[in-house]
Chains A and B, each alone.
Chain A
Amino acid sequence: MSTILKPENVDQVRDAVAWAAAEETPLDLIGGGSKRAIGRPGNAAHTLDLSALAGITLYESEELVLSAGPGTPIADVHAALAEQNQELAFEPPDYGPLFGQSVGTGTLGGIIAANLAGPRRIKAGAARDHFLGFSAISGRGEVFKSGGRVVKNVTGYDLSKILAGSWGTLGAMTQVTVKVLPAAAKTRTVLVFGCGGRAATAAMTRALQSPYEVSAAAWLPQSLAGRSDVGYIKDAGASVTAIRVEGPGPSVEYRCGALRTQLAEFGTTEELHGHNSGAFWSEIRDVRPFAMAGDARAVWKISVPPQSGAPLASSFVETLGGEVFLDWGGGLVWLAVSVDTDHGHIRTAVSAAGGHATLIRAPAELRATIPVFQPLDPGLAKLSKRLKESFDPRGVLNPGRMYAGI
C-alpha cells in the first residue's frame, strides 16, 4: 500500500531515505505537488512529502540572499521579498493552472528541482543561475551540502547546478539558498501588432540587439492574443509582439520610446504600463494561453536557438495543426497539439534545429510511451546514468522520472 512520509526535520528525511535505500524501495519526492504530472509516470510505492520543511530561515535584503526549507511555498517567498522591493529575478512560473490546479501551490524547492524560469530568462537566467547552495540527503542516506550563501564561489564542484533541474533524482533537498535582487521601479511593455512569427522574431531580435536592456520578448498569434485578460492584447485583433523594459522611471520611459521608434517599421505600436504589463507577462510566464478550462491538449516546451523558434513553430502549425506562441525572443516555443499527434516528428524537428523539447503536459499513458525529456546523445546518457548512480546507487530518489534507468 502506498504510504506518504512527511518528515518534519532533516533527521527524519535522512531516516526516510536511508530506510528506502536499505529496502531498495523507490520514493516519489514532492513539495506542493504542482508539477507532479510532469515527467515519466512513476510507480513508487511511497511518497516523500517535503512540504513540511518549510519556512524562510534567513533573509538579508542588503546581502541579496535568502535561505529557506525546500517546501516553502513560493508565494511566501514572493511576499517576503515584496516587502523589501525585491524579487526572484528569474520569474518562477506557476504551471499549476496548466494542470487545472489553483495558482500558488508551488514551492521554492520545486522550482529549483525543475530549473524553471519565466520570460526574464533571457536577461536574468533561470533558477540555476540564482541557486547559491543547498543541503540535501543523497540516495545513500547521507547529508551533504554544496555552495554557500555568497554569489561568487568556486570552492569545489558547483553541485547546485546539477541539483537544479534534476527533478529530485539526485538528492532530497532539505535547505536551499538563493540570490535575490531588487525589483525594478518601473515596467513598460512595447507592443507591435500584426507580425507573423518570423517578422516578430526579426522585431524581437532588433530589440534584443539594441542597448535598451530588454528583459522579455514574446509573440502571440492573434488567436491566442484573444484569450488574454489584458484588454489591449485581447482586443488587438491581430498578433502581438511584446517587448518589456524595466528599471528606473526616466530610463524606462526613454528606452520604451526608443524601442517604439526602432520597431515602428514592423507594425503599429502601443505600450502597456505597470499593471497591464505585469498581468500580461504573468500570462506568458504561466503558459496561460494553454491553461483554458477544458484544454486537454498535449503541451510541449521547446528551447532552441532564437532564430530557429519561429520556423519550427510555423512548421508545427502546418503539419500538426498545433497552436504556438514564442517567448525568450523566439528561443522558447510553447506548442499545444492533439494528444494523438505525431510526437516523434516534434522530437526529430527539434533535434535538427539544435535544442531540446520537454513534454510538459500529457496524459500518463502518453508520458509512459514516449520520452518526456529530450533523449540524450550516447555520451551524455552514459555520464548521466553514472552521475545518478554516484548520488543514488540504489535508485530510490524519483527513479525514472526523467529517463528510464536514471
Chain B
Amino acid sequence: MEMPKPDDGVIARRHEIAAALRSIVPGEGVIVDEEALRPYESDGLTAYKTLPLIVVLPETTAQVSEILRYCHENAVKVVPRGAGTSLSGGALPLADGIILGLGKFKKILEIDYDNRCAVVQPGVTNLGITDAVRADGFYYAPDPSSQIACTIGGNIAENSGGVHCLKYGLTTNNVLGLEIVMIDGEIVRIGGKHLDSEGYDMLGLLTGSEGLLGVVTEVTVRLLRAPETARAVLVGFPSNEAAGSCVAGVIGAGIIPGGMEMMDRPAIAAAEAFVEAGYPLDVEALLIVELDGPEIEVDFLIAAVEDVAKENGAVSLRVSNSEEERARFWAGRKAAFPAIGRISPDYYCMDGTIPRSQLPRVLSRMTELSETYGLRVANVFHAGDGNLHPLILYDANKPGELEKTEEFGSEILKLCVAVGGVLTGEHGVGVEKRDLMDTMFSKEDLNQQQRVKCVFDPKSLLNPGKVFPELHRCAELGRVHIRRGKMRFPDLPRF
C-alpha cells in the first residue's frame, strides 16, 4: 500500500503553517511536538502509521472555515479526524498534511423531542447521543460496535451501521441535516429538521464519503422512541449452512429482527473463553436473534423464530428471560474482537458484504484459503444484512506475516465481490481497500466518482490517497470525450 509521495516543499514550510494555524486556533489547539503528534499517527487500523505534519484542534465552525481556507490557498492537505476509530485507515495521516481533529466539538446543541431529532456537534460520541436522551425513553438507532468511542462525525464519514441496522437503517437513513465546511472555507447547510432534500440529495452523498468532500461541523439526527422490550434467542447449529438457512427462514417468515448476528466456531470459542457468555462450544455456528417491540409482539416473534430454528436443525436454543441474560448473550458477540486479540498477537478485521445465501460458499472457501496461507481466521457476521467480518489472526513481529495477511484479506474481499457482494459494508474503503476498488468498479465508474470529488475539492486536498486507487487531475477528468454517435442510429426504434 503506497501513499502519494509527500511534498517536501510543504514539509519545509511546517513552521510557517503552524504559525498561521496558531493565529486561527490559539493556545494548545495546534500540535507540532513529535511526542504529542504520536497519538495521531494511526487510527483503528494500526498496521499503518504516519506522523502528521501538524495536528489542529479547532473549537468553532468559524475556525474550521479559516483553517480550510488557509489550507486551500496554501495547498496544504487536510485529513479530518473524529475519534480515530476507523478500521480502514480513513484517518491515516499524511506526512505533508495536517490532521483536522474535531474532538473538541462535543456539545449536544439541542434535543427536540417534538420534532424527534437532536442537533449535535460532530465530536459527540455515537453512544453520547443515546445517553443524552435515554432517560426520556429515546435513542439514536445506528450502533456501531465502537459506539462508546466513535463520533457521530466519523459515523457520517463512514455511513456506520451496527447490529440494529437491518431493522432501523444505517447512518444515512437516520440523519436529517448537516453543516459542512468546504475545502475553500465556505459553510454550507444541508437539510434540517424536515424530511428529504430540496434539489440533489447532498446529505446522502456526503454520508459515507470518508472525509473526502467536506468537513462536518454539525449534525441533526433522528431520535426514535425506545422499544418497550427486547429479548434475544441464542441458537446453536451443527453447520454454517444450517445457520445460514435459519437466517433465510426467519426473513422468509416475514420477520425483520432488531438484530441477527452469527459467529463461527473459532469466534465462539474465543468469545466464550474471554467473557463466559454461556455459549455452547459444541456447535459450528451460533446465531443471536434479537426481537424488540411491545412484549406481546416479542413473545409472538420469539415463538416464530424458535419454530424456524428447529426446522433448520438447531441443536441448542435459549431465550433470554431477563435484561441481564440478554446482555450476557450479547457480551460475547460485542467482545468478539478483543477476544480474538487475546488468542493472537495481532488480528486483521475485514468487512465485506455478501448476499446472505452465499455465506456457506464464502465460509468454506475461506477455510481453504486459511490453510493455503497458514493463517487462522474467525468470523463474525451481521447475518441479517450480509455484512461479514472475518478476523485474520497473525503476528506482526513475524517477518512477512502482515503482507501475507493483507494478501489473504484481499482474496476474501475479491471473493465477496465475485459472489455479488461488495468490498466494504461499514468500515469504509480508506487506504485499506483502495487498491481493490477496480475489482468492483470499471474505469468509467471510478472516473465518475472522482469527478464528484472534483466538484467538492478541485485541488484534491481533502484526505487524498484514500478511497481511489489512482488520483487523476480534475482538469483531465473534466474533459469531454464524446464519441459522436452514429447519426440516426438505424437500430433504435423511434416514433
Q: Spell out A's residues near B (CB within 8 Å).
A: 3-8, 12, 15-16, 18-22, 52, 60-65, 85, 115, 117, 121-122, 125-126, 128-129, 138, 140-146, 148-162, 164-166, 170, 181-183, 185, 205, 208-213, 247-248, 250-251, 254-255, 303-307, 328, 331-332, 354-356, 358, 373-374, 376-377, 379-380, 383-384, 386-387, 389-391, 393-394, 402-403
Contacts and interface: CB of A to CB of B under 8 A. Distances in A.
Contact of B116 (A21, A143, A155, A208): A208
B194 A12 contact: no
Contacts of B387: 150, 152
A247 B489 contact: no
Most buried by A among B196, B294, B297: B196
A402 B197 CA distance: 13
Given A379-B188, A380-B188, A402 B199 contact: yes
Nearest to A156: B449
B208 A157 contact: yes
B204 A144 contact: no
B326 to A, nearest CB: 17
Which of A16, A149, A153, A181 counts the most chain B CB atoms within 10 A?
Answer: A153
B412 to A, nearest CB: 14
Interface string B439-470: 01110111111011111100000000001000
A159 B353 contact: no
A377 B165 CA distance: 33
Contacts of A149: 355, 420
A158 B204 contact: yes
A146 B445 contact: yes
Interface string B460-495: 000000010000000000101111111101011111
Given A164-B204, A307-B114, 11 more contacts: A18-B484, A142-B444, A155-B429, A156-B441, A157-B453, A161-B207, A211-B227, A248-B300, A250-B296, A384-B199, A394-B480
Contact of B480 (A7, A140, A254): A140
A376 B199 contact: yes
Interface stretch (B30-38, B168-176, B396-404): B168-176
Contact of A181 (B173, B252, B256, B494): B256
Interface of B: 113-116, 137, 158-159, 161, 165-166, 169-170, 172-173, 182, 186-190, 192-205, 207-210, 225-228, 248, 251-252, 254-256, 293-294, 296-297, 300-301, 353-357, 382, 385-387, 420-429, 433, 437, 440-442, 444-449, 451-456, 467, 478, 480-487, 489, 491-495
B205 A390 contact: no
A48 to B, nearest CB: 10
A150 B386 CA distance: 7
A212 B137 CA distance: 13
Contacts of B226: 211
B495 A303 contact: no
A150 to B, nearest CB: 4
Nearest to A129: B173
B201 A128 contact: yes
A3 to B, nearest CB: 6
Given A142-B444, A306-B114, A356-B198, A156 B467 contact: yes
A390 B208 contact: no
A364 B186 CA distance: 36
Pairs A-B, 10 closest by C-beta atoms: A161-B204, A19-B485, A251-B297, A374-B198, A182-B254, A356-B198, A152-B425, A305-B193, A390-B451, A379-B188
Nearest to B354: A150
B113 to A, nearest CB: 6
Contacts of A160: 204
Given A141-B483, A151-B166, A304 B423 contact: no
A383 B169 contact: no
Contact of B192 (A63, A153, A354): A354
A148 B429 CA distance: 15
B201 A125 contact: no
B194 A379 contact: no
A206 to B, nearest CB: 10
| Dominant secondary structure of chain B at its interface with chain A | loop
Nearest to A354: B192
A150 B385 contact: yes
Given A155-B424, A377-B189, A380-B190, A164 B300 contact: no
20 contacts: A22-B485, A52-B493, A61-B252, A122-B195, A129-B169, A144-B448, A150-B421, A150-B422, A151-B353, A154-B210, A154-B429, A161-B172, A161-B205, A164-B201, A185-B254, A209-B113, A211-B137, A305-B192, A377-B189, A383-B188
Q: Which of B166, B227, B256, B455 has the most CB of A within 10 A?
A: B455
A148 B441 CA distance: 11
A181 B248 CA distance: 13
A129 B207 CA distance: 12
Contacts of B189: 377
B256 A182 contact: yes
A18 B227 CA distance: 52
Nearest to B157: A154
A40 B255 CA distance: 43
Given A145-B445, A307-B114, A383-B455, A247 B200 contact: no
A158 B205 contact: yes
Contacts of A7: 492-493
Contact of A373 (B187, B193, B198): B198
A74 B177 CA distance: 30
Given A62-B248, A306-B114, A379-B186, A212 B429 contact: no
Contacts of B448: 138, 142, 144, 146, 159, 390-391
B252 A15 contact: no
A225 B226 CA distance: 33
B194 A128 contact: no
Nearest to B295: A254
A390 B454 contact: yes
Nearest to A351: B198
A3 B441 contact: no
A230 B451 CA distance: 51
A380 B202 contact: yes
Contacts of A15: 485-486, 489, 492
Contacts of A126: 195-196
Given A6-B492, A155-B433, A211-B228, A162 B198 contact: no
B452 A157 contact: yes
A268 to B, nearest CB: 24
A12 B114 contact: no
B195 A157 contact: no
B455 A248 contact: no
